[in-house]
Structure 1
Amino acid sequence: MGRRWSLRVRITGVATAVVLVVLVVGALAFLAVLQSMSVAAQATTAAQQATQIAADTRATGRLPPFEADEVVIQLQRDGQVVAVADDDFAGIAPLPVAAEAATVRVAGQRYVVRSSEIALPSAGVEHVVVARSLEGVDDATRAAAVLLAVAVPAAGVFVAALTWIVVGRSLRPVERIRADVERIGDDPSRRVDAPPGRDEVAGLAVTMNRMLGRLDQARSVQRQFVSDASHELRSPVAAIRQHAQVALLHPGATSLSGLAEVVDAEAARLEDLVSDLLLLARLDERGTLNQQEVDLDDLLLAEGARLRSLGVQVDASGVGPARVLADPALTARAVRNAVENARRHARSAVALTVRDDGATALVWIDDDGPGVPVEDRERVFRRFERRDDARDRDRGGTGLGLAIVAESARVAGGTARLGVSQLGGARLELRLPSVHD
Structure 2
Amino acid sequence: MPEHRRYVSTSLRVRITTATTIIVLLVLAVGAAGFVLLLRSQVSRAQSTTARQQAVQLARETEADGVLPPFEADEVIIQLQRGGHVVAVADDDFAQVPPLPVSSRPQVVRLMGERWAVRSSRVRLQDGVVQYIVVARSLEGADDATRSASWLLGAGVPAVSLFVAALTWTVVGRSLRPVEQIRSDVEKIGDDPSGRIVAPPGRDEVARMAETMNHMLARLETARHVQQRFVSDASHELRSPVAAIRQHAQVALLHPDATTLTGLAEVVDTEAARLEELVSDLLLLARVDERRSVNRQEIDLDDLVLAEGARLRALGVRVDATGVGPARVVADIALMTRAVRNAVENARRHARTTVALGLHDDGGHAVLRVDDDGPGVPVEDRERVFRRFERRDDSRDRDRGGAGLGLAIIAEAARDAGGSARLDTSALGGARLEMRLPTSG
Q: What CA distance in whole angstroms lies between the structure 1 residues aligned with 2:231 and 2:152?
A: 75
Evaluate the alpha carbon distance shift between residue 219 and residue 4 of structure 1 in structure 2; reply closer, same or farther with a 3 A threshold.
closer
The structure 1 residue matched to 2:123, chosen from 118, 121, 134, is 118
Q: What CA distance in whole angstroms lies between the structure 2 residues aligned with 1:418 and 1:7?
A: 56
Shift of 1:330: 1.9
Greater shift, 81-90 or 425-434, is seen at: 81-90
Residues 200-224 of structure 1 show CA distances to partners (whole Å, capped at 9, x for unaligned) of 2222222121111111111100100
TM-score by length of 1: 0.95
- Which secondary structure does the structure 1 equivalent of 2:133 belong to? strand
How do 1:89-128 residues align onto structure 2 when only pairs under 5 Å count?
89-128=94-133
The structure 1 residue matched to 2:340, chosen from 314, 322, 335, is 335
How do 1:285-300 residues align onto structure 2 when only pairs under 5 Å count?
285-300=290-305
Evaluate the alpha carbon distance shift between residue 177 and residue 276 of structure 1 in structure 2; reply closer, same or farther with a 3 A threshold.
same
The structure 1 residue matched to 2:167, chosen from 159, 162, 169, is 162
Q: What CA distance in whole angstroms lies between the structure 1 residues aligned with 2:349 and 2:13?
A: 65
Residues 53-110 of structure 1 show CA distances to partners (whole Å, capped at 9, x for unaligned) of 2222222222222233322211111222212222333333322213232111113321
Q: What CA distance in whole angstroms lies between the structure 1 residues aligned with 2:431 and 2:9?
A: 64
1:73 and 2:78 matched: yes
AA at the equivalent of 1:280? L
1:429 and 2:434 matched: yes
Greater shift, 65-74 or 320-329, is seen at: 65-74
1:253 and 2:262 matched: no
AA at the equivalent of 1:92? V
Q: What CA distance in whole angstroms lies between the structure 1 residues aligned with 2:86 and 2:242?
A: 124
Shift of 1:391: 1.9
- Which secondary structure does the structure 2 equivalent of 1:286 belong to? coil
Shift of 1:34: 0.7
The structure 1 residue matched to 2:225, chosen from 220, 223, 232, is 220
Shift of 1:370: 1.6
1:283 and 2:288 matched: yes
Residues 298-340 of structure 1 show CA distances to partners (whole Å, capped at 9, x for unaligned) of 1111111111111211111111111111122221111001111
Shift of 1:409: 1.1
Q: What CA distance in whole angstroms lies between the structure 2 residues aligned with 1:314 and 1:385?
A: 27
Shift of 1:5: 5.3
1:353 and 2:358 matched: yes
Q: What CA distance in whole angstroms lies between the structure 2 residues aligned with 1:17 and 1:416?
A: 62
Shift of 1:4: 8.7
- Which secondary structure does the structure 2 equivalent of 1:372 belong to? coil
1:195 and 2:194 matched: no
Task: Name 2:19's counterpart in structure 1.
Answer: 14
1:396 and 2:396 matched: no
1:309 and 2:304 matched: no
- Which secondary structure does the structure 1 equivalent of 2:290 belong to? helix
Shift of 1:6: 3.0
TM-score by length of 2: 0.94
The structure 1 residue matched to 2:211, chosen from 200, 203, 206, is 206
Q: What CA distance in whole angstroms lies between the structure 2 residues aligned with 1:89 and 1:162?
A: 57
Q: What CA distance in whole angstroms lies between the structure 2 residues aligned with 1:182 and 1:305?
A: 59
Contact 1:84 1:90 in 2 (8 A): yes
Q: What CA distance in whole angstroms lies between the structure 2 residues aligned with 1:334 and 1:95?
A: 106
Q: What CA distance in whole angstroms lies between the structure 1 residues aligned with 2:268 and 2:293?
A: 35
Contact 1:102 1:113 in 2 (8 A): yes
Contact 1:119 1:126 in 2 (8 A): yes
1:244 and 2:249 matched: yes
How do 1:47-66 residues align onto structure 2 when only pairs under 5 Å count?
47-66=52-71
Shift of 1:127: 1.0
Contact 1:99 1:115 in 2 (8 A): yes
Contact 2:360 2:366 in 1 (8 A): yes
- Which secondary structure does the structure 2 equivalent of 1:105 belong to? strand
Residues 258-300 of structure 1 show CA distances to partners (whole Å, capped at 9, x for unaligned) of 2222112111111111111111111122353212111111111
Q: What CA distance in whole angstroms lies between the structure 1 residues aligned with 2:171 and 2:9?
A: 21
- Which secondary structure does the structure 2 equivalent of 1:6 belong to? helix
The structure 2 residue matched to 1:151, chosen from 147, 152, 156, is 156
Q: What CA distance in whole angstroms lies between the structure 1 residues aligned with 2:216 and 2:115?
A: 73
- Which secondary structure does the structure 1 equivalent of 2:120 belong to? strand
Q: How many pairs align?
A: 435
Evaluate the alpha carbon distance shift between residue 4 and residue 376 of structure 1 in structure 2; reply closer, same or farther with a 3 A threshold.
closer
The structure 2 residue matched to 1:385, chosen from 382, 390, 394, is 390
AA at the equivalent of 2:266? E
AA at the equivalent of 1:271? E
- Which secondary structure does the structure 2 equivalent of 1:62 belong to? coil
- Which secondary structure does the structure 2 equivalent of 1:246 belong to? helix
Task: Name 2:34's counterpart in structure 1.
Answer: 29
Shift of 1:251: 2.1
Contact 2:9 2:180 in 1 (8 A): no
1:418 and 2:423 matched: yes
Q: What CA distance in whole angstroms lies between the structure 2 residues aligned with 1:86 and 1:250?
A: 144
Task: Name 2:368's counterpart in structure 1.
Answer: 363
Q: What CA distance in whole angstroms lies between the structure 1 residues aligned with 2:423 and 2:78?
A: 109
Evaluate the alpha carbon distance shift between residue 379 and residue 4 of structure 1 in structure 2; reply closer, same or farther with a 3 A threshold.
closer
Q: What CA distance in whole angstroms lies between the structure 2 residues aligned with 1:164 and 1:87?
A: 64
